[in-house]
Structure 1
């Protein structure tokens, strides 16, 4: 197993590409707290932003020291050195930084479309910038250590993971939406989160909770369905959290991802975004404050402000997945991941990347069989899968026509004039990041 590769030691080497992110202390906190589940001997943070990297690295060492974690933490701007001999490489990068995100969330609004970093035209822009960079990183990992797992948390996770898997990399995608629902449902029910299992189906950022099982015991295969109870007793809280009408959620009888609001209430969201400004501008200010906090040599815990940055339960999800993949979790576990379809959803191509529960262990990722998906959800899943196929083609091969085709296929666009306008704006705002533009 990968967990015993290094001279018989069970201590792992993990590398985080994008380690200079303000998210990283959330990840570090989870590594420190859950060290018995994931025994890390060496953690390398990799990022081209050397100054930020030093701040994050210093805080990471202090968090580990405070919690008595023995792992060595190093930082580097050298990708080749950083990923060498790593058992797993976690990708959490943002090509173009918050400035590019702010553009993704701004120029689509000029055309009356949602401005969002993973959905619609902004999400396509991010995919075009990100896929070539991620594939370059993955090739370096393959040259250095072909046995390493690549765990992608970089958005848009579905498209990026599909790019990695299509290129033959040992990769799986991870999102925090499912674990977020698991924790919230467990809190409503007053039970341990490990007793809650989700019937979670769809694509990354396009999922529905069609069922919630309260297990008889942690790791059990039997339990009782409690989604109707959750909707009856906590329907208002759930709907408010999604910013969707309670009557609508009750009528669906499922809990959609909060990203579905961009589809179900598109025009209302556009009005809100025009009135309140981009999320990127808010995040940039949060990041500025976080970096000031991280520079304090007395800080040795993740600050409360980090909760406003996003990525709740990111570290727990990452630890669960990596520990299962590297064989330190004590056997297979069921986790929601982004992985190759291979017939699980028969109305999609085999090479589509879906987000469903899967059995994960040192032998890999095996998505669990799914009951038939209701037409109300399957139609949107099919349409967005087609868009993702065209988006990946545009990211790999470039060209205005491919960008236009992807936008025309997107359910939030779908009109010739609108796709033309969005294509022009996308290219104008991203030329410095697109070698072919």
Structure 2
């Protein structure tokens, strides 16, 4: 039954993205009758939680709303009787991301937050934590919806569905939104005047674009993009795709496809940044420090413009609209990670896919896409297999599974180098990998090389 007033919990409430989340709720104040917002973090994030939480309170007060904003380190206290739970946490904080990027690059291998070795290790650290959160939700707020934009969003969502046995979960990403906004602008239209059909996996999807008459304008968008020199993403280096290859796809790739279509070029760019101690993670750490200095200003009562430099802009607004669409059964079309249910014929029925979906009171209803052409199908099936194995390794701590995932990931060379890199990263992240404890001890004792 629809509640008159709702309770929303954000885990990772001390995130620099939280002001955008609060702004999104305020924008929807006439549709979302919020009673209380709980911002939750861990002891290491206490200072940031206080800073961003106080800004959130000032924003709500300025808007003249009676919402209660609570700050806590007690997750269970926050979750009790929640209606919606959003997750935006980073296990190991940005220092862990720096390791995910720098350790592979030290071996001449791509280092990236959600792709390659770094992405798999982010999954290893994150999945056990999200499953703990789900266990708490089953006990304390079993009817709540989990809105996840903790990366790697697709794998985290699939882990909740398969291993958490929790159906009320939706994964979100800002990448599709960025494409919709930038491509609409190229055509001189509002996003509402176009229909975007996305299909694939989180950070590995393709899409088509249609106008209001139902005509496919994807090729027109392609030509506009080819004549433009702007990157659609803050956190990925802009290197032009090969036009002939993209035309052959007959679909538009996302920015992350550069890691698979232009691997060596992207690696060279990253190695240059590595040498200057200027990897994306190191840059973000500096941006975050500056943001929190701005957030401390007691006179600041709105989201600062500088947040757009962080790279994840529009994430939070998407989360607010998703909650709005579920609560009000708006039937909005959004791109989300959800159970496939046959929407993408080339992938397992029970896996998580990122696909255009109708958002109802009962959750996402993925729009049927059908089959991919061979070029897309080959890559997406390999990547889905890699994701499935990575998730299983994250849950079980099975070294063989972890090595298997490294071996089939297109961005990690197989053989001795994969094993060497895996072992080094396991030891580097051991504080946040309790499921691999016995394996890590063997590596440190020289029993596993």
Coarse TM-score class (shorter-chain normalised): over 0.9
1:265 maps to 262
Q: 1:106 aligns with which of 79, 102, 109?
A: 102
Whether 1:390 aligns to 2:389 is: yes
Q: Is the 8 A contact 1:43 1:72 kept in 2?
A: yes
2:116 maps to 120
Q: Is the 8 A contact 2:199 2:344 kept in 1?
A: no
2:91 maps to 95
Aligned residue runs from structure 1 range 395-434, under 5 A = 395-413=394-412, 415-434=414-433
SS at match of 1:298: coil
Moved more, 156-165 or 104-113: 104-113
Deviation at 1:238, TM superposition (A): 6.7
CA distance 1:184–1:77, change in 2 (3 Å): same
In 1, the alpha carbon distance for the partners of 2:324 and 2:231 equals: 34
Moved more, 122-131 or 409-418: 409-418
1:155 maps to 151
Q: Is the 8 A contact 1:14 1:42 kept in 2?
A: yes
In 2, the alpha carbon distance for the partners of 1:246 and 1:313 equals: 28
In 2, the alpha carbon distance for the partners of 1:426 and 1:195 equals: 47
CA deviation profile, 1:333-357 (whole Å, cap 9, x unmatched): 2211101112222222222110001
Moved more, 281-290 or 68-77: 68-77
2:169 maps to 171
In 2, the alpha carbon distance for the partners of 1:88 and 1:208 equals: 29
TM-score w.r.t. length of structure 2: 0.90
Aligned residue runs from structure 1 range 29-428, under 5 A = 29-48=23-42, 49-166=45-162, 167-169=164-166, 170-209=168-207, 211-215=208-212, 223-237=214-228, 240-241=231-232, 243-245=239-241, 247-248=243-244, 249-276=246-273, 277-326=278-327, 328-329=328-329, 331-413=330-412, 415-428=414-427
Gapped runs of 5+ residues in structure 1?
216-221
Number of residue-to-residue matches in the alignment: 422
Aligned-residue Cα RMSD (Å) equals 1.7
Moved more, 255-264 or 62-71: 62-71
CA distance 1:354–1:200, change in 2 (3 Å): same
In 1, the alpha carbon distance for the partners of 2:140 and 2:231 equals: 47
SS at match of 1:44: strand
Gapped runs of 5+ residues in structure 2?
233-237, 438-449
In 1, the alpha carbon distance for the partners of 2:66 and 2:182 equals: 32
CA distance 1:68–1:286, change in 2 (3 Å): same
In 2, the alpha carbon distance for the partners of 1:231 and 1:42 equals: 45
Moved more, 388-397 or 316-325: 316-325
1:218 maps to none
SS at match of 1:69: coil
Deviation at 1:65, TM superposition (A): 2.2
Deviation at 1:303, TM superposition (A): 1.2
TM-score w.r.t. length of structure 1: 0.92
Moved more, 244-253 or 46-55: 244-253
In 1, the alpha carbon distance for the partners of 2:81 and 2:34 equals: 13
Deviation at 1:233, TM superposition (A): 3.4
In 1, the alpha carbon distance for the partners of 2:400 and 2:120 equals: 14
Q: Is the 8 A contact 2:94 2:281 kept in 1?
A: yes
In 2, the alpha carbon distance for the partners of 1:323 and 1:42 equals: 15
Q: Is the 8 A contact 1:400 1:423 kept in 2?
A: no
CA distance 1:319–1:393, change in 2 (3 Å): same
